[in-house]
Amino acid sequence: MKQGLSGEEAISLFEKYNVLSYLSDNFEVLHTQSQQWLMEEIKEYITKQKKANQ
């Protein structure tokens, strides 16, 4: 699923906003969802983290 980011840009966002920790901590729920749902969840999580860090 293309999101308009390079691999480096995606990894940078994941590191900056601790996305991998979020995914790991919530694996039990997240792994049962569709790829599209998960992409939206990640985008929403990053948006919330950006607002929290302002």
Q: What's the rounded Cα separation, in Å, for the pair 23 and 37?
A: 13
Of 43, 33, 35, nearest to 1 (Cα)? 35
User: Mean pLDDT over residues 25-53, rounded?
Assistant: 94
Domain ranges of the chain: 7-52
pLDDT value at position 49? 96
Which carries the bigger pLDDT value, residue 1 or residue 50?
50
Q: What's the rounded Cα separation, in Å, for the pair 23 and 42?
A: 9
Confidence of residue 1 (pLDDT cuts 50, 70, 90): low
| Structure confidence by residue, pLDDT tens digits, 14-34 | 999 999 999 999 999 998 999
pTM above 0.95, yes or no: no
Q: What's the rounded Cα separation, in Å, for the pair 47 and 35?
A: 18
CA distances from 26 to 12, 22, 32, 39 (A): 20, 6, 11, 14
pLDDT value at position 41? 96
